[in-house]
C-alpha cells in the first residue's frame, strides 16, 4: 500500500489523498446503517485526466476503485464491501461548465449537487426536469444518473433524471476517456442530442450503479420554469391506499398535467404526528392518509383549468381539501415553495435517536403498490419472532410500512418502503445480534418485494448481490450484463463485488 500511496501522490496532491484511519472510517459509511468495509485509501481527484490516471494505476496494481458522489444512497453503493481498495470521491469535480441557453442544455461535472445546479439555473428562469433524488441537497448529479434517481420535485411531469441526459463523458474502468451521443462526432462542438451516431451508448452508463464507468461530465436538458403554480393537499377517506392508486391512475387516464403528486399513508401520518414530524396535521381529528398535487402553467387561465380538473377528481373520491396555507395542513405548498421536495423523502431518519429505516426503494406500476403493501403486512406478521427480539433488545419494535409514494414518469410510482430499527450500536455498546437481525429482516423484505416484479433502480452492493443470490435476474440478461462488465473491466477494478462481479 505504501508504494500505491506514493504513486497516487504523483497524480493528485497529497492534500486530497489520505490513508488516515479516521478518514477511511468516515468513508466506510453512507446513509444505510450497515457497516460493511473500510477502504485502504481515499482520493479526491479534480479532473477527468486524474480519474483516468488513477484507474490506469489501479489496473496495474489490481486494486479496486469505488466511485463516490454525495454518499446519499441507502444500499451501500458508495462504500467498499470488504476492507480494501480506493474510494474515489468525486465531490471536488463540482463545476458548472456551460449553459447553452439556445438549446436549453447544461453541462456539469459529475460531482455537482442537484441543489447547486438548480440554484444556478434559477438565475436564468430554468430548472432541471427532475430535481434529482429526495436527498438532492447533497446528492451529486453523477450519483443520480448512476441510479435512475427520482424523489425530488417534478417527477410526475418529467420522470427520472436519466430521461434528460443528452450526453456523457465517461472514464472507462481501464482508464480510457470516451464521449457519448452527439459528441461522438469529432466535429460536434457542443452536446445537443442523445440519439444518433449509432446505438444509445449513453444509456449503458445510466443506472449502471457505478460498475461500467466513472461519469465525469454530464449534459442535461433543462426547462423554463412556468410562471404560475398551484398546490393543494387532501385528507383521504378510509381505505386510502387503494384510493390513492385509483387517483393516480385517473390522473394518467384523463391526461391531467401534474408536476408532482404524492400519497402519505395513514400509519406514517399517525406516527409522524405523534413524534412532532407533521405539526401542520396535529389538529386533525382523523389521522388518515394524505395526498397532494402540484401543477404549473404559463397563464392563470391554464392554471385554473388544470386545478379544477384535479379538484374534481379528488372530490369524486370523497377526499377533503385542507387549507391553503402550510399551517392549515397544505404540505403541497411547503413541498414546492420551501424546497420540501428535498426534505420529505426520508422523513423517518432522526425521528428517534439511533432509529433508522432499512429501505426498499423501487419503481412499480401504479396499480400494483396496494397489493405489495398488503403483502408486507403479512410479511410483518410472519417475522413477529424476530421483531420481538429487537423489541427485547431495545424496548421498541421495528415499524414496517412505506414512506411517501411518489407519482413518477408514465404509469409508475416510486415505492419507498421498509422498516425502522435501531442501529447495532445502541445505548453505548455494540449489539451483534441486533446487526444480524436487521440484515436478516432487510434481505427478507427486499426478496419479498422483488418477487412482486418491481423495478429496482438504486441497488448498491447489498441489493445488487441479493438479486444475484436469489436468482432474480433472467439468466440471458445477466449473462449479457456479465459479458459487458468483463469486456469493459476485465480485472473487475470498478465497484468490485457489486452484482457479485468479483
Question: What is the rounded distance in angstroms from the CA atom of residue 355 to the CA atom of residue 349?
Answer: 7
CA distance 141 to 94: 9
Q: How many CB atoms lie within 10 A of CB 31?
A: 20
Residue 113 DSSP symbol: B
Q: What's the confidence (pLDDT) of residue 29?
A: 86
CA distance 92 to 16: 9
- Describe the crossing of helices 432-450 and 462-469 by its angle, rounded to 10 degrees: 60
Can you tell me whether residue 403 is helix, strand or coil? coil
Give the other-Cβ count within 10 Å of 308's Cβ. Answer: 10
Nearest to 322 by CA among 255, 249, 269, 390: 269
Residues 384, 386, 388, 394, CA torsion sign: negative
DSSP assignment, residue 190?
A: S
Query: What's the N-to-C CA distance of the chain in angstroms?
Result: 20
User: Do residues 393 and 325 lie in contact, with contact meaning Cβ atoms separated by under 8 Å?
Assistant: no
Give 18-24 contacts, CB < 8 A, sequence gap 24+.
Answer: 18/42, 18/43
How is the chain split into domains, by residue range? 2-91, 96-224, 228-342, 355-462
Return the pLDDT at 342. Answer: 84
**What's the CA gap between 275 and 347, in Å, rounded?**
11
Q: In the block, which residue shows the cell 385509483?
A: 246
**DSSP character for 225?**
P
Q: What are the helix (H) ranges across 125-218?
A: 141-147, 155-158, 201-205
The grid coordinates listed for 379 are 410479511
Q: What are phi and psi of 389, to 5 degrees?
A: -65, -40
CATH topology of domain 355-462: GMP Synthetase; Chain A, domain 3 (3.30.300)
Please name the residues in contact with 52: beta carbons below 8 A apart, sequence gap of 6 or more.
171, 175, 176, 177
- Architecture of the 96-224 domain: 2-Layer Sandwich (3.30)
Domain 2-91, CATH class in plain words: alpha beta
Q: What pLDDT does 451 receive?
A: 97
Supply the pLDDT for residue 347: 59
Q: In this structure, are residues 402 and 373 in contact, taking their beta carbons and an 8 Å threshold?
A: yes
Q: pLDDT digit of tens for each residue in the chain (502 aa)?
A: 679 999 999 999 999 999 999 999 999 988 877 777 999 999 999 999 999 999 999 999 999 999 999 998 888 899 999 999 999 999 999 999 999 999 999 999 999 999 999 999 999 999 999 999 988 889 999 999 999 999 889 999 999 999 999 999 999 999 999 999 999 999 999 999 999 999 999 999 999 999 999 999 999 999 999 999 999 999 999 889 999 999 999 999 999 999 999 999 998 899 888 888 899 999 998 899 999 999 999 999 999 999 999 999 999 999 999 999 999 999 999 999 998 888 876 556 666 777 788 888 999 999 999 999 999 999 999 999 999 999 998 888 998 888 899 999 999 999 988 888 888 877 888 888 998 999 999 999 999 999 999 999 999 999 999 999 999 999 999 999 999 999 999 999 999 999 999 9
pLDDT of residue 137: 87
The hierarchical CATH code for the domain 228-342 is 3.30.70.3450
Helix (H, G, I), strand (E, B) or coil at 423: coil
Amino acid at each position: 500500500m505504501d508504494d500505491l500511496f506514493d504513486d497516487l501522490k504523483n497524480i493528485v496532491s497529497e492534500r486530497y489523498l489520505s490513508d488516515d484511519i479516521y478518514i477511511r472510517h468516515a468513508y466506510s459509511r453512507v446513509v444505510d446503517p450497515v457497516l460493511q468495509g473500510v477502504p485502504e485509501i481515499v482520493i479526491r481527484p479534480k479532473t477527468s485526466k486524474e480519474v483516468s490516471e488513477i484507474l490506469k494505476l489501479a489496473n496495474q496494481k489490481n486494486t479496486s476503485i469505488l466511485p463516490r458522489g454525495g454518499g446519499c444512497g441507502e444500499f451501500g453503493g458508495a462504500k467498499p464491501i470488504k476492507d480494501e481498495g480506493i474510494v474515489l470521491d468525486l465531490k471536488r469535480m463540482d463545476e458548472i461548465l456551460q449553459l447553452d441557453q439556445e438549446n436549453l442544455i447544461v453541462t456539469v461535472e459529475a460531482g455537482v449537487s442537484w441543489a447547486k445546479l438548480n440554484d444556478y439555473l434559477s438565475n436564468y428562469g430554468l430548472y432541471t426536469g427532475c430535481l434529482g433524488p429526495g436527498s438532492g441537497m447533497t446528492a451529486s448529479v453523477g450519483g443520480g444518473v448512476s441510479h435512475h434517481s427520482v424523489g425530488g420535485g417534478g417527477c410526475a411531469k418529467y420522470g427520472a433524471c436519466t430521461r434528460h441526459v443528452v450526453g456523457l463523458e465517461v472514464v472507462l474502468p481501464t482508464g480510457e476517456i470516451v464521449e457519448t451521443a452527439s459528441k461522438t462526432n469529432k466535429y460536434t462542438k457542443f452536446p445537443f442530442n442523445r440519439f444518433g451516431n449509432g446505438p444509445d451508448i449513453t444509456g449503458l452508463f445510466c443506472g449502471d450503479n457505478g460498475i461500467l464507468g466513472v461519469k465525469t461530465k454530464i449534459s442535461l436538458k433543462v426547462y423554463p420554469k412556468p410562471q404560475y403554480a398551484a398546490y393543494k393537499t387532501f385528507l383521504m377517506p378510509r381505505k386510502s391506499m387503494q384510493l390513492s392508486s385509483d387517483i393516480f391512475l385517473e390522473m394518467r387516464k384523463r391526461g391531467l398535467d401534474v408536476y408532482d403528486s404524492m400519497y402519505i399513508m395513514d400509519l406514517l401520518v399517525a406516527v409522524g404526528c405523534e413524534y412532532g414530524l407533521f405539526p401542520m396535521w396535529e389538529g386533525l381529528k382523523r389521522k388518515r392518509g394524505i395526498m397532494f398535487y402540484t401543477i404549473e402553467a404559463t397563464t392563470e387561465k391554464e392554471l385554473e383549468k388544470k386545478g379544477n380538473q384535479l379538484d374534481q377528481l379528488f372530490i369524486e373520491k370523497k377526499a377533503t381539501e385542507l387549507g391553503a396555507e402550510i399551517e392549515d395542513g397544505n404540505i403541497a405548498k411547503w413541498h414546492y415553495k420551501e424546497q420540501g421536495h428535498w426534505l420529505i423523502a426520508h422523513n423517518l431518519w432522526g425521528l428517534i435517536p439511533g432509529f433508522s429505516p432499512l429501505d426498499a426503494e423501487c419503481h412499480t406500476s401504479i396499480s400494483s403498490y396496494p397489493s405489495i403493501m398488503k403483502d408486507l403486512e403479512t410479511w410483518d406478521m410472519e417475522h413477529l419472532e424476530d421483531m420481538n427480539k429487537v423489541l427485547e433488545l431495545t424496548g421498541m419494535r421495528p415499524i414496517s410500512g412505506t414512506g411517501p409514494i411518489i407519482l413518477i414518469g408514465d404509469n409508475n410510482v416510486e415505492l419507498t418502503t421498509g422498516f425502522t430499527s435501531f442501529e447495532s450500536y445502541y445505548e453505548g455498546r455494540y449489539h451483534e445480534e441486533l446487526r444480524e437481525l436487521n440484515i436478516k429482516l432487510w434481505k427478507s423484505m427486499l426478496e419479498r418485494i422483488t418477487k412482486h416484479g418491481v423495478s429496482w433502480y438504486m441497488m448498491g452492493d447489498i441489493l445488487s448481490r441479493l438479486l444475484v443470490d436469489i436468482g432474480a435476474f433472467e439468466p440471458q440478461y445477466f449473462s449479457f450484463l456479465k459479458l459487458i462488465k468483463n469486456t469493459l473491466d476485465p480485472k473487475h477494478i470498478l465497484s468490485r463485488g457489486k452484482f457479485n462481479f468479483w
